[in-house]
Amino acid sequence: MTSPSGRLSIMAPKPNPKVAKAFRAMKDLGISEDMVKPALKNLLKLYDKNWEHIEAENYRALIDAIFEIEDEEVHHQPEQPLKRPRPGNQDQDFSLVEENIATTSATFLHFANTNSDTALNNTDPQQLQDTMEPSKLAVSNSNPSDESESDSPPSCLRPRGRRPTSSKALAIAEASEAHQPCDTNETLYLSQMSLKDQHKELVPSHPSEEDNTLSERLSQGAQDISNGKDTEEEFIGKCDSANGVHRVIPPENETSTSFHNSANGITDGVLLLPEDAALSTHGLYTSIHDNESGPADNSIGTVNRKKVLEMGAEKSVSVIKNKWNQARTSETTYLLDATDITKGEENVRISIINHYNDVFPPSFCYINESLVGRKAQVNVSLAQIGKEDCCSTCARDCLSLKDICICTRSTGGRYAYTTDGILNEEFLEECISMTRNPQKHSQFFCEDCPLQVRKDKDAREPCKGHLVRKIIKECWRKCQCSKHCGNRLVQRGISHKLQVFMTSGGKGWGLRTLVDLPKGTFVCEYVGEILTVSELYLRNQSCLGNCADAVVLDAGWASSKEIKEDKALCLDATVYGNVARFINHRCADANLVAIPVEVETPDHFYHRVAFFTSKKVGALEELTRDYGINFNDCDHFTRPFSCRCGSTFCRNMKHYNRKRTKENALLPFDFKI
Ligand SMILES: C[S@@+](CC[C@H](N)C(=O)[O-])C[C@H]1O[C@@H](n2cnc3c(N)ncnc32)[C@H](O)[C@@H]1O
């Protein structure tokens, strides 16, 4: 480059602001540049220049790394090569574990990658800045939660897992039919994310349709195509599986001696295996059991003596220590079960599969029925259920009785379900029509719309309308029929095999069926925290760019002139939820339709939201629903996303929106804040 004087000048490399910021932050803590340099260099190498992890929790990893180096210097120990998982390694593919993974009780392994890190030889901070680029990982924040807020979700709900990088891990799950529960020999995938990371979802690059076809074929054949390349070591901690929550308990004493405290190099609660151990699924499984001491009580596994000896005590200790250090960056580390995301909460196991990368689904607390939040008014007292709201003269199965049950009152004296356990066709068609053509159906306009009242006075708009929806009333406990009554479908929960999977169309995770579903089949409910709209609004305000996934329970609003604040309810599945939180949006021709269902309370303000198939859905087809989003309307709670539904009726296409703005103003059921 030439200067104005015409002379050649050498430009100083532009400093990387992240490096400068890290140095500044350490300086503020009184840590000198000399101490920061090697630690930062190591971390950048370890994390493959992913600054997310370095900056997390005010540079906690960096501070740890600095002190680790100090410790090592004090003890005159040579630095051991650190290997940490490289978040978001997009190159790795793993496959298999289709439906049958859900049938095993195998569980979790955490695999660190073996990718060769490019050495960063330069320790000069200025030059470091030139080499350090922000990670290319696409990271999207999708969860709210300011912990300090009383409205915020509790900390038990934070895990946001990375997925094990190895298809071998899943192969183990598939192959190991004889696995035992977590507190014995079960192996676990370990989610080790910092608190901040736990609320971030790693969004993969969009796999192509071609990939999808291939991986789907593979998944059906349960083939492993990774050849174990992506697995180096497996790390397993002690597991406390109380209350269905798998929690890893770090060793109490983190000095190196505690990691190889016995003559044979075996340490309770920690399992460490080099890459080759995972090459054979049986090999890995066997090796867990091969140790001579046997697993300790309440421990997932014990260190395999042979492998530790092979690796050498020093390296083993170093690897374990680094792993624990990493785990320590989370207040608590949780495990997610790839074989059953429901943690046993549903009648069926729901497996998770990602054919494209090593990302695990965003973590949340799985619940199978909605929980009442702090302010919501949901009165389910038996006293509230009058004679007209329960069938006191029915017996067994109301659908098989000659007389129509009183619980059909809200559906015009007709059962919404058939004796085959699917939705009555006529009823279903009406519900589909309401979703697809809301403008053709009765709407209710509230005076003070709860969706508007929280806004600044100037920003408020008149109510945009709520559909006067058809509500199904199921028989319930005060009724005299049995739990198997045909008019109790939704309350019995999920009964068809489903799977959470990484979509190929750039929509992130999705939900699909593993079996053919006839039209009108109940798939699942939308389950979440029952919040008031105001609470949801507050949550939305306190989350930085990450918004909740919520469904408004407005089906009964038409029945009241004035909707009190504690009665304007919604379901937020961001933190507590079920599989429905993975259902993606499809404009107009989605294969699911949402129908309000009353089970425990007839007050109309709280109702469940049940998804039924609006058409025949084939096995492995993605399940979709229309969120009811108006992509043009930035003024409501909806956080717009760029729709990739692929429907010919997509409302996110500009020409389409221009034509249909009026109709789209209606915001049925859902909004996403
Ligand atoms: C309820 S979540 C669905 C599960 C989500 N895909 C995941 O990975 O967790 C809603 C979010 O999924 C994504 N999504 C859903 N439908 C989509 C679509 N048709 N096109 C693009 N993104 C979509 C959007 O990011 C949206 O905010």
The answer to whether the CB of 509 is under 6 A from ligand 1 is: yes
Ligand 1: which of 584, 627, 637, 649 to mutate, most ligand atoms within 8 Å of CB? 584
| pLDDT for the residue numbered 350 | 94
pLDDT at 99 over 60: no
What is the Å distance from ligand 1's center to 142 Cα? 10
The answer to whether the CB of 572 is under 6 A from ligand 1 is: no
* Contact yes or no for 594/471 (Cβ under 8 A): no
pLDDT at 590 over 80: yes
The answer to whether the CB of 520 is under 6 A from ligand 1 is: no
Q: How far apart are CA 461 and CA 534, in angstroms?
A: 16
Q: For residue 327, give both structure tokens.
A: 């785990």
The ranges assigned to domains in the chain are 21-68, 351-452+461-661
The answer to whether the CB of 581 is under 6 A from ligand 1 is: yes
Closest CA to 379 of 392, 367, 389: 389
- Write phi, then psi, for 200 (nearest 5 degrees): -120, 145
- As a whole number, the mean pLDDT across the chain is 63
| pLDDT for the residue numbered 71 | 57
How do residues 356-402 score in pLDDT, each as one tens digit? 877 788 888 999 999 998 889 888 888 888 888 899 889 999 999 98
Residue nearest to atom 22 of ligand 1 (CA): 507
Q: Would you place residue 539 in the very low, low, confident or very high pLDDT band (cuts 50, 70, 90)? A: confident
| pLDDT for the residue numbered 584 | 95
The answer to whether the CB of 192 is under 6 A from ligand 1 is: no
**What is the average pLDDT across 580-603?**
93
* Contact yes or no for 355/219 (Cβ under 8 A): yes
| pLDDT for the residue numbered 453 | 75
* Contact yes or no for 56/197 (Cβ under 8 A): yes
In this structure, whether the domain defined by 351-452+461-661 belongs to CATH 2.170.270.10 is answered with: yes
How far apart, in Å, are the Cα atoms of 55 and each of 25, 59, 134? Answer: 10, 4, 11
The answer to whether the CB of 528 is under 6 A from ligand 1 is: no
| pLDDT for the residue numbered 307 | 53
Question: For the chain, what percent of residues have pLDDT higher than 70?
Answer: 52
Q: Would you place residue 193 in the very low, low, confident or very high pLDDT band (cuts 50, 70, 90)? A: very low
How do residues 306-329 score in pLDDT, each as one tens digit? 555 566 555 655 555 554 444 444
How do residues 148-162 score in pLDDT, each as one tens digit? 333 433 332 332 333
Closest CA to 533 of 571, 501, 562, 495: 571
Residue nearest to atom 13 of ligand 1 (CA): 507
Residue nearest to atom 1 of ligand 1 (CA): 581
Q: Which atom of ligand 1 is nearest to the CA of 639?
A: 27
Q: Which atom of ligand 1 is nearest to the CA of 580?
A: 1
The answer to whether the CB of 643 is under 6 A from ligand 1 is: yes
Q: For residue 222, give both structure tokens.
A: 């349960």
| pLDDT for the residue numbered 360 | 81
How do residues 12-38 score in pLDDT, each as one tens digit? 556 688 888 888 888 877 788 888 888
Q: How far apart are CA 316 and CA 372, in angstroms?
A: 47
Q: Which atom of ligand 1 is nearest to the CA of 511?
A: 4
How do residues 128-186 score in pLDDT, each as one tens digit? 433 333 322 222 333 333 333 334 333 323 323 333 333 333 322 332 222 222 222 22
What is the Å distance from ligand 1's center to 508 Cα? 6
The answer to whether the CB of 553 is under 6 A from ligand 1 is: no
- Write phi, then psi, for 551 (nearest 5 degrees): -125, 130
Question: For the chain, what percent of residues have pLDDT higher than 90?
Answer: 24
The answer to whether the CB of 584 is under 6 A from ligand 1 is: yes
Residue nearest to atom 19 of ligand 1 (CA): 645
Q: How far apart are CA 530 and CA 566, in angstroms?
A: 11
Of 460-469, 521-530, 625-634, the one with minimum mean pLDDT is 625-634
Q: Would you place residue 4 in the very low, low, confident or very high pLDDT band (cuts 50, 70, 90)? A: very low
Burial letters for 193-213: b for 16+ Cβ neighbours within 10 Å, e otherwise? Answer: bbbbbbbbbbbbebbeeeebe
The answer to whether the CB of 507 is under 6 A from ligand 1 is: yes
The answer to whether the CB of 651 is under 6 A from ligand 1 is: no
| pLDDT for the residue numbered 346 | 96
Ligand 1: which of 578, 585, 587, 638 to mutate, most ligand atoms within 8 Å of CB? 585
Of 247-256, 311-320, 330-339, 642-651, the one with minimum mean pLDDT is 247-256
Q: For residue 278, give both structure tokens.
A: 């995972």
What is the Å distance from ligand 1's center to 189 Cα? 25
What is the Å distance from ligand 1's center to 153 Cα? 21
Query: Residue by residue, what is the 3-state secondary structure of 479-523?
Result: CCECCCCCCCCHHHCCCCCEEEEECCCCCCEEEEECCCECCCCEE
Contacts of 288 (CB under 8 A, 6+ apart): 185, 187, 271, 295, 301, 304
How do residues 496-511 score in pLDDT, each as one tens digit? 999 999 998 889 999 9
